[in-house]
Every structure is written in structure tokens, then in C-alpha cells.
A and B are shown apart, each in its own frame.
Chain A
Amino acid sequence: MNGNRTDMIVTRDTGDGATRATGVRGVRARRIAVVARTMWARGGGRYALVTLALWALTACVSLFWTPQPLLKTDGYHVWDAPSAAHPLGTDGTGADVLSWLMAGSRTNLAIAALAVVCSAAIGLLFVGLMVARSNVLASVSVAVVDALISIPTVLIALLLAVPFGASAGVVVGACSIAYGLNLARVARPAALLAARSQYVESARANGAGGLDALVRHILPNISPVLAVQLSMSAGTSVLAEAGLTYLGVGVGAGVPSWGHSLATSVKLINVFPLTVLWPGLIVTLVVVALNLFGDALRDAADPVANAALRETVAVSAVAGVAADVASGRVSVVSAVPDRAVATSAAMGRVAAETEGED
């Protein structure tokens, strides 16, 4: 018990930021572990974690090794049936289908990751504007989002494809804009509730700036929406890549991606229907995994639904308050409502344990 506690509760003699950081980091690691364990305990979450881990692993492996070199073509073995050398057969140039699918996983992973990061940035920017104190800013940003939300991803992609040509960047750009706006719209109600709450009021009265309030108070409140929307966006970006690449505005020719594999397999479906199966199946399985991941993450990261997490959160809240007070950055009065997530019972227990240590 001793070892566990000391890394979280900051002792009173060192009030500097470094000690506080290690304490919070310890709590954060534990919190992540609790969330991961809860996700793993449910079938859907387990499927999602395994599939996504396999995806990431394949993407890493394909950087160094694929069963056959990507550019090795073989005019004598085009559209081959599966064999020992080519477990999923060959495509129209005699290249190995499995190798291309493996290499495609890294392109799709990069596109999905970038789309998630960029759409989160765009979405949060708009959320920030929408809940801004300034009435003009707020209503203009709401109007912009409401107006642009109905423009489909493919139109944005086509618009971007004219100046930039077909590239992965076009897919990322179109997805980021479309999903970012969507995120802003979906997250707005929760963000507004948080922005008008008393704890934001008190934080601002304590001198917290707008950005600080956004990051420390509003963000945690919209994180369930974020978890679901962003993982769905990742999934939709995989679907969008497939569609856009087929239309000729996605990743460029010769770049491995699942959309590329799907599009090349289309050409000869009447002769070799089986080749169509694999890329579509992979896309479907991965998108299902991403959707389930979002749901599982939301459920597991919700302190109300997840009792195990509630304890960890309570401990970290107390630790955080203790750290803030110890470092003399805030008074007890302002610190407590700030982190009032802790249940009083858990607080009492932690307090008792801390006393025992002394």
C-alpha cells in the first residue's frame, strides 16, 4: 500500500511542479489500465482491441516485410488462385494480393490517424467558438457549421482534387473537414451545458482563461461524445478512402491501400470473383472494430457506468486537489468545486489511508 500511494499523493515539503507531474502521471496510467481492462471484459470491446492491435501490427510489419515484394510482377501468373506462394492469389499484374493488402493497412492507418487528429482539431476549434462568450462569434460559428454540414465528403474531396490531384492528402483533408464539422455539431449541446455550469463559472472567476476552461472543464465533459465520434470518423475514413480511391480522387496510382486493392479487383470480377472478397471483408471488419471501440471506450471511460474507474477517478481527484493546494497554486475553496467528481466515501477512505501513512 505504501508504494502505491506515495507516487500519487504529493508530500507537503515539495510543492514544485515536477512532483505533481509524476503523481498525476501515475494516476493517469492506472486510469488507462482500468479503462482497458473494462473494455477487454466485454465481447465487443475485446474484438475491437484485438482487431485494432492486429491492424497496427500489420502496418508496422509491412514496413519491413511482406510475403512478396510489392513491385514484383509476374506476367505468367496473373489472377492466380490462392497457392502456397500467394495465399490470397495474385492480381492482374501478377503481384501478390496478400502483400498489397498488408501494405495497404499502413496507408489506411495513417489516413485514419491523421483524419482523427485533424477532425478533432477542427471540431474542437468550432466547439470553442460555439461556446464563446462573444455572441457574434458563437452565432456565426453555429451558422457556418449548420450551413456546411450538409456538404458531403465526396464533394469536398472532388473540390480538393482539382488543385491537388489524387492523393492521400485529399482523403485526409476531405474527411477532416466533413467529420470536424459533424463533431462540432454533435458535441455542441454537451459543451454548452458545461460552459454554462457553475464550475466553469467558478474557474473563470478564479482567473482561468477561455482556453483553460475549454481544455480543463469543457473537454472532459464532451469526451464521451468525442470517443464515439472520433472512432466512428476513423472507420468512416476507411470507407471514404475506398470510395474515393475507386473514383480516382483517393490515394494515387501505385500506392498500396485497401481502396486500391478493392478498386483493382473490380476490373475482372466476372472472371475471378474471389479476389473481390478479401479487401472488402478487411474494410468491413476494421470499420466494425472501430465502431465497437468507440462504444466500448465511452462505456469504460464513464465514471458513472464503470465502478472500478470511479474509485480511480476519486483517488486522482483527491490527489490533484492535494497537489494543487500543496503547491500553493490554489486555495482549498477554489480547488474543491473544481474537481468535485470524487465521491465523498472514496475521499474519506483516501484521507484515512493518507493519515495512516503519516
Chain B
Amino acid sequence: MRFVVKRLLLFAAALFGVSVLVFAALRILPGDVAVVMAGTNATASRVAALRAEFGLDRPYVVQYLDWAGGLLHGDLGMSALTGRPVATQVGTRAAVTFPLIILGLVIALAIGLPLGCAAVITRSPRLRGFFHVLAIAGGAVPALWSGLLLLLLFGRGIGVLGVLPSQGFPTDGWSAPGRAFASLILPALATGIVAAAGIMRYTRAALEDIAADGGPVDMAMACGMTRTQALLGVGLRLAAPQLVSVAGLTFASMITGVMVVENLFALPGLGALLVGDVGNRDLVAVQSELFLLAAFFLTLGLAVDLAHRALDPRLADDKEDR
């Protein structure tokens, strides 16, 4: 229990820290939003008026408190360029990005877990070598490249087997689930295959450690299980806490690939929104979006740590050694 409280306090502190960081980093900005919005041949008074309108002329502390207070009420502010609330913008984009990441993670787990287990179960040195090469080479592919190769293979109009939509997302969103899903398959594969290599490597390492440790796996075999049964039935359960951590970290690390792939497949996702807003120096929007994403990943980290604890009863009676 002490661990949970401590972890929650850390989470709150980290949220605060990140909000200060994001806020401070964006104030060093050379071209500020008022100047950009006013256009190239704007008068100084027009810029000043815009500054006043967005409250950019107030002291930083007041600006920060205003923004942070809004965040606490779920008010993310208005985009300075489009004039729409940031919250709705983020909401529509997240409906593309999150299904994409989750689908990618499912693919990564579906490929990485079995291969990682197979790499430990097999006894043939040749197969082991093959799995080793596969794990290293798979993780070395840039997501942009895997996406391009998939496009060249399966993309409609481009690929050798043009069976899947190659670009875009249905304009009516998820009201046509089949079409929306189909347009996510290739992007999800592009990120999932690369992430699978990482999951495979970690699964192999975790399972190998547990097998080498003897104890439980050997015990299960002494009780009559075959080596495969013991590894999958006992070893995998013991590796579960570690694997949850790895899956969480993979989820976080996939976001780079996801942003690239969104761009490549012309999906209207969070990545495209964020990159566009950074390019446009839309201070208000970038600030809230960066904070939201960072908060999401902090939450993910929290969830992973708590799940790790819950899955590993051996940690429960530990002193707070971490």
C-alpha cells in the first residue's frame, strides 16, 4: 500500500514537473505566436493587440497558473490559429491514433511473444541463430522504411498485391468501421513488426533467465511436464511481470514510429496534428497537446508499475527498496 501511495505522489509530482517544463520550454520560443498570427506585414500595434487578446503580455507566473488551472478543469484552451478548442481537435485525432497504436501493439505481441518463446524452446543451434538474427534485424528497420515496403507490397494502386487501402482515413471516421479498420492495417503492421522484434528479444531474455535459474521450471519438469510445457506453463507466468513492463515501454516507444507512419499513410492522427502545430508555432495548442501526450505516457508508466506489482506477489512484502 505504501508503494501505491508513493507511486501516486511521484506521478502527481511528475505531472507538475512536466507541465512546468513544457511551459518553460515554449517561452524561449524565438518567433512567438502573436507575431506569426499577425502576418508578415503587421503593425506593432496589431501584434500588441493580439498579445493582449491571448494574454501573452501578462507575467509568466500568471500565464502558467491560468493555463494549469484550465487543465485541471479540462479546459485545454483554444488553438490560436484555427480558433477551435484544443480538446475537440485532440479528441478527433486520438480516435485515429489510439486504435492504431493498440492494433500495432497487438500485432507486436502476436508476433513477438510466440517467436520469443520459440527461441528459448528450440534446441537446434541453427534455429537459435536464426531467431537471434531475426530479433536484431527486425529491430533495426526504420518504421518509415517498413511502411514504405508494406505499401510497395500491399498498397492499393502502388503495391504488387494491391489489396489494402494505401493512404488516408475515411472522412466519416469510424461510422464505417470496416473501412476505417482496413485503412489502419498497413500502418499498424509497419509499426507492429518493428516493435515485435523488441518484444521478442525481451521475451527470450526473460524466459531464458527463468529457465537458467532452475528452480520452478526444473521442478515442473521433475513433476512430469515436458520442457516445453514447463517453459510455457510455469516459465511464462513467472516472466509475466517483466513482460508487462516491456509491453508498456514498447507502447511508449512506438509513438515515434506511429507519428511517422501516420504521416506516411496520410492518417489524420495526433502525430500529424502535433507536428503541424509545432511547424505553425501555435503556442497554445502545442503546449496543451505536448502536456496531454506526456501525461498519457506518465499514466501508462504508472499503470505498468502498478500492474508489475500486482502480478508479482514476491514484491508485495518487500521493504521499499526501489
Residue numbers of A with Cβ under 8 A of B are 142-143, 146-155, 158-163, 165, 235, 239-240, 242-244, 246-249, 262-263, 266, 269-270, 273, 276, 279-280, 283-285, 287-288, 291-292
Contacts and interface: CB of A to CB of B under 8 A. Distances in A.
A151 B300 CA distance: 10
A262 B298 contact: no
Top 4 nearest A-B pairs (CB, nearest first) are A280-B145, A147-B14, A150-B301, A287-B140
Interface residues of B, number: 55
Contacts of A263: 144
B291 to A, nearest CB: 10
Contact of B13 (A143, A246, A279): A143
Contacts of A161: 278
B298 A292 contact: no
B275 A153 contact: no
A70 B136 CA distance: 33
B116 interface: no
Q: Report whether over half of chain A's contact residues are helix, strand or loop; otherwise say mixed.
A: helix
A165 B298 CA distance: 26
B264 interface: yes
A141 to B, nearest CB: 12
Contacts of B10: 143, 146-147
Contacts of A292: 136
B142 A159 contact: no
A148 B271 contact: no
Contacts of B298: 147, 150-151
A142 B274 CA distance: 30
A147 B21 CA distance: 13
Contacts of B29: 162-163
B31 to A, nearest CB: 9
Contacts of A240: 256
B259 A147 contact: no
A269 B14 contact: no
Most buried by B among A239, A276, A283, A288: A239
B227 to A, nearest CB: 26
B313 interface: no
Contact of A152 (B145, B256, B281): B256
A262 B322 CA distance: 43
A146 to B, nearest CB: 7
A265 B256 CA distance: 20
Nearest to B276: A248
B67 interface: no
Contacts of B158: 269-270, 273
Contact of A163 (B18, B26, B136, B253): B26
B301 A266 contact: no
12 contacts: A146-B301, A147-B13, A150-B297, A152-B297, A153-B253, A158-B290, A165-B30, A243-B144, A266-B264, A276-B152, A279-B145, A291-B136
Contacts of B21: 159
B72 to A, nearest CB: 19
A117 B136 CA distance: 23
B140 A158 contact: no
B15 to A, nearest CB: 9
A243 B143 contact: yes
Contacts of B286: 158, 162
Nearest to A291: B136
B133 to A, nearest CB: 9
B186 interface: no
Nearest to B286: A162
Contacts of A163: 25-26, 28-30
A269 B152 contact: yes
